[in-house]
Chains A and B, each alone.
Chain A
Amino acid sequence: MEKEIINKCESIMEEMGLSALDDKRKQEIMDKMVGLVCDRIILKLMGRISDVEVDEANEIMASGDEDRQLEFLRIKMPDFNEILDEEINAVKAEILKDL
C-alpha cells in the first residue's frame, strides 16, 4: 500500500472515523476499497474502448507484450490520476452517505 491511492485511503480513514482502528483492520478495509476502486477504474477504461477497438484490445491484453499493453493503456487513459481521484472520491462519498 502506498502513495497516492494509499494516502487518499488514509485520509478517508480519518474522514470515516476509523483512524482509531488497529492497523490490521485498517488494512482490510483499505484493501477492499482499493479493490473496489481498481474495478471501477477498469470499468471506466472499458467505457473508453469503442466497439471497433474491442478485438484489438483483446489481442493486446492477451499478447503478453507489455510495451503494447502500456501504450494501449496510456492512450486510453492519459488522465489516470484524475480518474483515480474521481473514483476514490465517489467511493468515499458513497460509503459516507448515511453511514
Chain B
Amino acid sequence: MENKNESKIWEKDEVLSKESKKTESPKTFETNDDNLEKAKEIGNEEKQETMGKEVNEGKIETKEFDQLIEDVDRFNKSFEISKTEKPKIFDRFKGLLSKKETADQRDYEKLSQDISKRVFEYGKVNPDILNNDSIKEFLEKAKEIANERADRVDKKIEGLNKQTAEEIEKVNKERPGLFDKISERFNKNGLEIVIALGLLAMLAAMPREALLDKIASGDVGMQINTLLSQLNLPQIHSFLPAKYANLALIASTAAVLRVAKSDFLTRNIKKYFGSNDSKEEVTQEEEKSKEAEGFDVSSREEVVKKKDTDESFNQVAGSAEHQETFKKYQEGELDSKENEKPDDNDINESFNQVAGSAEYQEAFKKYQEGELDDEENEKPDDNDINESFNQVAGSAEYQEAFKKYQEGELDDEKMEINKEELEMLNILKEMITKGEKVEVKYKKGLDWEFGWYVTDIKEEKGKRPSVSLKRFQGSDAKYINVDLSKIELAKKKY
C-alpha cells in the first residue's frame, strides 16, 4: 500500500519534473543570471564567485544542471522547514513535487536519494558540480537524512540478528557444536569464502569476452583492488603497468585466480563451480591448462544460475562509491606505497594508454583467440602465475620496455599520423590560434571521458604529436599529456 502510493507519487513527480523542465528550460540562463544577481545583492562573495565562474566559463551551463540546481535549492530550503513542519515541505517543490498531502519521513528520504542520484549521475559527466555550494549543502543534508535512516536499519538488523541467534541456539541444542564448527570454518576465512564464491560465481556467469573487456577497461582491476585489500593481498597496482598490455591482462586474470586461490575452498573452486557432478575430477594439469588459457569461465555458464550479474556489476561500477574509489584509484590515492610511479605522470594513465593502444588491441585480440606467444605466456613456476608476473613486472627487461613505451620508442610505425588525425590536428591548431576553448573527449581504456580541454600541442620531429589536456577537478585542475590518438573533439567538426 505504502509502496504503491510512493511509486505513484514518484511517477507523478517524474512527469511533473519533465513538465517543469519543458516550461522552465527557456529561462535557464536567466535563472543562473538571476541567482548570480541575487548572490551579488546578498553580498555572498563565495557564491557569487562560484556562480560567476560557472556562467562565465560555461562549464556547467546545461538546462539539466539548472534544473538540478533548482531542485537542490528547493530541497535545501525545505530541509530546514521539514524539521518543524513536515506536512508542508512539499509545497515548496511546486513543479517537481506537488504533493499537498502529508509528507512523511520516507517520502522525504526518497526524494533526497532521488536528487542524490541525479547529482552523482551529473557529476560523472561534470565533476565540477560537486564543488558547487548548493550541491555541497545538499549532499550534507542527504547524508544526514541517510544517517537517520541508517539508524533504523541498524535496529532492524539487530532484531534479525536476535532471531537468528535464537535459531542458532535451537540448532546447537539439537546438534551441539556443529554450527560453531562450520561457522568457525567460514569465519576463519572471514568473508573470503563468501567473497571468493561470489566472485567466482560472477566470473562464471559472465561471458569471457565481457569479463576480459571489463578487465581491459580497468573496472575489474578496480574491483579486484578492493577485494585484494580486504583479503590483505597485494594490490593489483603492484602488477601494473605491464610490460605488454597482454601481460597486464594476464596479471588481472591472475589476480582473480590468486584471490580464487586464497582460501581453502579455492584450490578446488573450479571443481566446485565447474560441475554439479561430484564425481567429475579436474586434474591439476587440466586446471593449470585452463589457467594458462586465461581462466576460461565460459563453460560454467550452465552450472551457475546467475541473474543480472552484469547489471549488478555495472551498478556497482557506476555507483557513486565506485566512482569515488575509482577516481582515487586513478589518482593513485588508494595505495601510495605500492603505486610508486616511474615518472611524475600518472602511472594508471599510462596503463590506460597501453590498454587503449593499437598494440594492446592486437595483443588483446590474440589473447582472446588464444594466440599469445609462448614467451609471453610462459610461466617459470607453473603453480603461480602471479609469481611469474611479478618477476616479469619487476625485471630489468620490463622496466626498460616500459621506459621505452613511455618515451614512445616501442613502435616506429606508430610515428605516422593518419588523415583523420591530421585533420583534427589542424582544427585544434586553428581553434587554439583563434583563442577558442577546445573541448575534447579523452579515451581512457575503452571509455571516452569528456570535459578535457586542450592547452597545448607538442610536435617534435620523428615523433607523433601529443596534446596537453586540462581538466577541472573541483577547485584544482588536472593536467595530462596524451597521444593524439587518445582524443577526439567533443563536438566533431570533421
Contacts and interface: CB of A to CB of B under 8 A. Distances in A.
A29 B276 contact: no
Contacts of A61: 178, 181-182, 184-185
Contacts of A80: 197, 201
A26 B201 CA distance: 24
Contact of A46 (B149, B157, B175, B316): B175
A3 B160 contact: no
Interface string B296-307: 000000001111
B125 interface: no
Question: Helix, strand, loop or mixed for chain A's interface?
Answer: helix
Interface string A1-38: 11111111011001011111111011001001111111
Contact of A21 (B146, B181, B272, B312): B146
B227 A3 contact: yes
B390 interface: no
Given A7-B313, A58-B177, A38 B149 contact: no
Contacts, number: 190
B112 A32 contact: no
Given A2-B199, A69-B185, A71-B278, A20 B145 contact: yes
Contacts of B265: 66, 70, 73
A85 B150 contact: no
A46 B195 contact: no
Contact of B272 (A11, A62, A74): A74
B194 A38 contact: yes
B24 to A, nearest CB: 26
A6 to B, nearest CB: 7
Contact of A11 (B106, B161, B264, B312): B312
A33 to B, nearest CB: 6
Interface in B152-196: 152-154, 156-157, 160-161, 164, 167-168, 171, 175, 177-179, 181-187, 191, 194-195
A5 B195 contact: yes
B195 A95 contact: no
A21 B183 contact: no
B142 interface: yes
Contacts of A67: 267-268
A66 B154 CA distance: 35
Contact of B230 (A2, A4, A32, A42): A2
A66 B182 contact: no
Q: Taking each of B147, B271, B316, B324, which has the highest tally of chain A beta carbons within 10 Å of its own beta carbon?
A: B316
A21 B109 CA distance: 12
A68 to B, nearest CB: 10
A48 B168 CA distance: 15
Contacts of B355: none
Given A2-B198, A61-B181, A95 B160 contact: yes
Contact of A4 (B168, B182, B199, B267): B199
A18 B149 contact: yes
20 contacts: A2-B226, A3-B195, A3-B202, A3-B227, A4-B309, A10-B312, A11-B315, A14-B315, A18-B149, A19-B146, A19-B319, A19-B321, A29-B150, A38-B187, A42-B179, A43-B164, A43-B167, A61-B182, A84-B197, A84-B198
Q: Which 9 A-B pairs have the closest CB atoms?
A: A4-B198, A66-B264, A2-B227, A61-B181, A20-B142, A20-B146, A3-B199, A7-B312, A3-B198
Given A5-B194, A20-B145, 19 more contacts: A1-B230, A2-B198, A2-B224, A5-B195, A19-B319, A19-B321, A20-B116, A20-B139, A20-B142, A38-B187, A40-B164, A41-B194, A43-B179, A66-B267, A70-B268, A78-B276, A81-B306, A84-B194, A94-B156
